[in-house]
Structure 1
Amino acid sequence: MMKLVLCFVAFFAAAFGSGDVTFIHHPKNIYFKGNEIVDQSFLTEIFSASLGFTTNQDSDWSGLRITNPFHYAEAIVVLFVDGIEKLESVKGHHFDLNTDEDEDTIWLNLERRVRNRFPSQNNTLMRVELTEGPNGLVPFYNLIGEADNTVLPDVQFLDLNVTEDRAFLSEISLLQDIVKKVESGSISRDGIPDVYWFLLRGLHAVWDLHSDESPATVEAEQLLKDTVNEMNRAFIKAYEGRVLITMITSDVSHTRQVRQVASPEATRASSVDLKAAPTYDENYPVIFNIILWFMVTFVMALLAICLVIMRMDPGRDSIIYRMTTMKSMKKEN
């Protein structure tokens, strides 16, 4: 019986990837609460709402609250750590993640929304694969200039002669180069939303090689934590606090992902209300302004007519006086 239970648990873990999303920093008007599970596919809506965009779906998820509509985020910074279920050592508001959608789909949906909202603006929309080395940073270097010579971090337990360890350290060093460029003032807020999306894949191989509690793995996690803290401070300074910084960890790429088609009832049950404005037709602003200014003009004209009538003094010789006095009315009879 025990073997059957273990087999079932193993099958379930293999079929459904799991993960964690940590909101490390958020603007003053946005805050997170509770510990409800959030669907990975819903992260696009959370990021969109944080930028002040109208969201495309409703939900009962109550983990996000927006208190001030005039202080939205001007940038979204995401560090996606692939192959790891959770890193609790990173400070922030943690939510368990239901990995029902691929990471690249979230990125594409968010990129599309920003471009549709600001089609003629020079937004910074950047997705960087740290595993590609300096070649993966070409778009970033085009924006802020070439980085200095990359230096691998000093380590005690990780071995530079081991392929997995060196690959992870190379990713960390590239991320540190990015942080240094941001700290130098190469990036600043301009009122136009920006998105920075970084992918780190090397930590999973370190876990597999050394086990999750080995000194090498602990050192790797500490390196990542320190780099995330530096990245957090750099982007907060660059955008004057108006930035949403998020770390996503997911083991979905190393498990068997099963896509589920939810029933209409299930979809409604899992939908989330972000208190966002409903979607209106593109002609709504025109019609609204026509009606608004017509009513304003009508009320002002009516008020003016009333004031004129109130101030009228027809006098005893006017036609109004003669037609309304009792004497003239008797003569006519």
Structure 2
Amino acid sequence: MFSYIRIVIFSLFIAVIFGDGDFSVLLSPSSIEFTGNDQLESSYIGDVLLAALGNSVIGSIPWNGMTIKDPFSLAKTSLIIIQVRGIYHLPTPNDTSTYEFIGSDAESSLDYLVSQLSVAYDINFVNHKKGVGQFLSCFGSIDAPIVQPIEYLQPHQYWSHKHFLEELGLIKHASQHLELVLKPSHALIFRLSLDRIVKVPRYAPINEAKALIAATVQNLMDAIRERNDSVLLVQISNKHSSQLQAKTHSRVRGSVNPFQKIIKDLNFPIIANLALWFSLAFVISVTVICYAIATIDPGRDSVIYRVSSVKDFTKKKH
């Protein structure tokens, strides 16, 4: 039992260290400042980005990582998001503001963001065929080569490797045609997935994929710096995804489950076990004491007999 408790506590400790993903701000306009290293609830990612574009959000955001320095310039801001599913962390430049987030609602939060924006190009490569179609509708018919060079990824053997390299090639091509979508208050989202990549040998293809993503994002950053200084470029990596539907404008921030904070508390397993075993020991002790008292022989030599006996003073002494 105690070994099980140690395993649970260790697992929770590892989860706290790594979180559920990273929210990295690669580029930001001068009107917005990102500071600190506070954790962010994944369900608030969409609200943070909405506020960065000058939109109103429902309720307040319990996060102090973003400061709006010039609210009148927010309407000029464009948003680009690179979201990668299936990995906790992706490499970023040294001057990047990176925040761990907790929860598996990052994708649902991005869906909510898209639903609230008037113009959002959501290119979801998780479904490769659908994502390519969405890309072509934004940038027109193109013939982008796959990303090179490669060592561990095997596009001639695995379709998943080939599709991934094609997707990076499309993003690299898009970085040269950003003027088609980079307009004030517009958003461009690229969604990738490392879940489907065959990990042979071991995790070498994943490590190579991470390096290729970093190079592609760096190329995108260089292209943005040359063209526009009012772009917010964000990279999101999340290991797990939620199957919940996207949130709508009718959600209420005040409706919070009162047990949610208790369950997320790292000390909850310890407190629960203490309460359980103490209650069990108390019940057993009371039961044994009651049984012992009930089965005592109330003889004349018993203390109970002497205390509870009533003397009859009506009888005369003979």
TM-score (norm 2): 0.66
**Structure possessing the higher relative contact order (Cα contacts under 8 Å, 6 or more residues apart):** 1
Partner of 1:229: 218
Q: Assess if the C-alpha contact under 8 Å between 2:79 and 2:188 holds in 1.
A: yes
1-side partners of 2:178 and 2:241: how far apart? 35
Using the alignment, how far apart are the partners of 2:183 and 2:155 within structure 1?
A: 41
In percent, how many aligned pairs have the same letter?
A: 19
2:47 aligns with: 45
SS at match of 2:121: strand
Aligned residue for 2:180, secondary structure, equals coil
The CA deviation at 1:67 is 0.7
Partners of 1:172 and 1:19 in 2: how far apart?
23
- Give per-residue Cα distances to partners, 1:77-101, cap 9 Å, x unaligned: 1111111111244552110111252
Contact 1:17 1:98 in 2 (8 A): yes
- 1:242 matched to 2:230? The reply is yes
Q: Structure 2 vs 1, CA of residues 57 and 155 (structure 1 numbering), >3 Å: closer, same or farther?
A: same
Partner SS for 2:217: helix
Residue by residue over 1:180-232, the C-alpha shift from the partner in whole angstroms, topping out at 9 and shown as x without a partner, is 234145526443x1111211113x454854445x4x43322211110111122
SS at match of 1:253: coil
Q: Cα distance, 1:114 vs. partner?
A: 1.9
Using the TM superposition, give the Cα deviation of residue 178 of structure 1 relative to its aligned residue in structure 2, in angstroms: 3.2
* 2:164 matched residue in structure 1: 171
For 1:101, the equivalent position in structure 2 comes to 105
Q: 1:234 to 1:134 in 2, by over 3 A?
A: farther
Query: How do 1:1-333 residues align onto structure 2 when only pairs under 5 Å count?
Result: 1-2=2-3, 4-10=5-11, 18-72=20-74, 74-89=77-92, 91=94, 92-103=96-107, 105-115=108-118, 123=119, 125-163=120-158, 166-184=159-177, 186-187=179-180, 189-191=182-184, 193-202=185-194, 204-206=195-197, 208-212=199-203, 214=204, 216-238=205-227, 240-253=228-241, 261-263=256-258
Equivalent AA in structure 2 for residue 155 of structure 1: I
Q: Which moved more, 1:3-12 or 1:130-139?
A: 3-12
The superposition leaves residues 102-158 of structure 1 with CA deviations (integer Å, 9 ceiling, x where unpaired) of 50x22332123223xxxxxxx3x1221224335423233223211125335221232
User: Cα deviation per residue 1:271-306 (whole Å; 9 max; x = unaligned)?
Assistant: xxxxxxxxxxxxxxxxxxxxxxxxxxxxxxxxxxxx
Q: Which runs of 5+ in 1 are unaligned?
A: 116-122, 267-333
Partners of 2:4 and 2:260 in 1: CA distance: 35
Equivalent residue pairs, number: 247
Distance 1:168 1:13, change over 3 A: farther
SS class of match (1:142): helix
| In structure 2, C-alpha distance between the alignment counterparts of 1:90 and 1:210, rounded to whole Å | 28
Unmatched 5+ residue regions in structure 2? 244-254, 262-318
- Amino acid paired to 1:170: H
